[in-house]
């Protein structure tokens, strides 16, 4: 008896029955076949963790003057552009200050008109020989003083008007509104925060056990599952998309290593939303075959191999599915060994 027969004697009675009941087998002549030689290979050891979506920068939209909130133009989750008006603060005192400035300018304008008349009169008297140079100089000085006072009053009014315009609260950057911690009618001070805006690129933050600190490297590749926390929405390693470890923080807090992962397509995620991430923490040697080599009969997975005594169906236990350059592979936990020749079915008659 050969080593293949002794190793798998337990499967032969079942195989005889299955061969008798199955149509289109190897011996039927209805299908051709090719072989796949099993070779042990090294793959990354992946650990599943949850990554938390973060924004690279979060900036506050602040009030530039104190007053009362009269308008809120945004809500949580809204997209805003840089410079967009997100709210408005009104200071009732500015209206009174504007009226006072207008009255002061009007009074000075009257003084300016009178000084201009006095200057014209002094010039005319001096031209006729009845006036003096000192009176002309005095009238000109008075005119210049009032002109400067009018300019100063107009500048004061411009400052008040600018303060009124600064009641418009502007978005400091383009992004998504995270929080709006104020309500209409609230009284706020200059510099107080009225909204927080996530303006930077989104990334994933990972918190890993301290025992994996030596295996986490900047520039390493991780796999990110689909959006959601359930296995149905997160998917598997085979359907995950790649991401890159952009930063590993040098300080361990509470027995955890913190790392940041860059990945595209997080723009519609919520900040602080969690998603499944597979990260390599080592390597292991596995035996794997193409998924097409595995068939299931009566709830049991089988792989057909070539032996000196002829084809033999071997019951196997499957592990993880992973991707290789030449196609997907499925891990075989038990049933095969390195060097076995797997018979691949060919559907071409």
**Cα separations in angstroms, 257 against 243, 252, 293:** 18, 5, 40
Q: Is residue 257's pLDDT more than 70?
A: yes
Do the beta carbons of residue 271 and residue 55 sit within 8 Å? yes
Same domain (yes/no): 23, 62: no
The answer to whether 220 touches 245, Cβ cutoff 8 Å, is: yes
Give the pLDDT confidence of 95-133 residue by residue, as tens digits. Answer: 999 999 999 999 999 999 999 998 998 888 888 888 788
pLDDT, tens digit (0-9, with 9 covering 90-100), for 206-220: 988 888 888 888 888
Q: What is the pLDDT of residue 28?
A: 35
Mean pLDDT of all residues in the chain?
83
Domain CATH code at residue 205: 2.40.30.170
Note the pLDDT of residue 33: 56
Task: Dump pLDDT digits (tens) for 234-249.
Answer: 877 777 888 899 999 9
> Where is the domain boundary, 110, 145, 166?
166
Domain with 317, as residue range(s), is 3-40+287-345
pLDDT of residue 109: 93
- The structure tokens 């397509």 sit at 265
- The per-residue pLDDT for 217 is 85
My answer on whether 186 and 250 are in the same domain is no
Tokens of 204: 């994933």
pTM, two decimals, is 0.56
Q: Could you tell me if 209 and 277 lie in one domain?
A: yes
Which band of pLDDT confidence, cut at 50, 70 and 90, is reported for residue 5? very low
In this predicted structure, the answer to whether residue 12 has a pLDDT above a threshold of 80 is no
Distances 157 to 68, 135, 283 between C-alpha atoms, Å: 21, 33, 73
Q: How far apart (Å, rounded) are the C-alpha atoms in residues 11 and 314? A: 7
Reference 274, options 242, 238, 233; nearest CA is: 233
End position of a domain, from candidates 234, 253, 281: 281
For residues 207 and 276, membership in a common domain is answered with yes
Looking at the structure of the chain, the number of domains it has is: 4
């Amino acid at each position: 008896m050969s080593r293949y027969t002794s190793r798998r004697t337990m499967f032969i009675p079942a195989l005889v029955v299955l061969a008798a009941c199955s149509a289109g087998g190897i011996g039927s002549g209805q299908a051709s076949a090719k072989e796949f030689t099993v070779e042990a290979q090294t793959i990354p050891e992946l650990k599943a963790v949850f990554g938390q979506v973060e924004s690279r920068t979060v900036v506050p939209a602040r009030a530039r003057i104190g007053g009362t909130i009269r308008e809120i133009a945004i809500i949580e989750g809204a997209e805003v552009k840089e410079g967009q008006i997100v709210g408005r603060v009104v200071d009732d005192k500015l209206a009174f200050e504007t009226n006072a400035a207008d009255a002061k300018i009007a009074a000075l304008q009257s003084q300016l008109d009178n000084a201009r008349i006095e200057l014209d009169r002094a010039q005319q008297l001096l031209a006729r020989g009845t006036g003096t140079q000192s009176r002309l100089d005095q009238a000109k000085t008075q005119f210049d003083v009032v002109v400067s006072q009018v300019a100063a009053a107009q500048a004061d009014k411009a400052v008040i008007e600018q303060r009124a315009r600064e009641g418009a609260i502007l978005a400091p950057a383009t992004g998504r509104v995270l929080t709006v911690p104020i309500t209409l009618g609230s009284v706020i001070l200059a510099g107080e925060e009225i909204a927080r805006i996530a303006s930077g690129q989104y990334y994933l933050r990972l918190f890993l056990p301290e025992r994996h600190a030596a295996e986490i490297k900047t520039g390493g590749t991780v796999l990110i599952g689909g959006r959601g926390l359930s296995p149905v929405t997160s998917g598997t390693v085979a359907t995950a998309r790649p991401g890159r470890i952009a930063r590993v923080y040098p300080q361990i807090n509470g027995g955890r290593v913190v790392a940041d992962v860059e990945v595209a397509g997080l723009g519609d995620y919520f900040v602080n939303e969690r998603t499944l991430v597979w990260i390599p923490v080592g390597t292991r040697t596995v035996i794997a075959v193409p998924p097409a080599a595995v068939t299931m009969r009566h709830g049991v997975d089988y792989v057909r191999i070539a032996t000196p005594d002829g084809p033999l169906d071997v019951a196997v236990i499957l592990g993880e599915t992973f991707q290789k350059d030449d196609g997907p592979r499925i891990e075989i936990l038990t049933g095969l060994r390195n060097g076995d020749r797997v018979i691949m079915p060919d559907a071409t008659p």
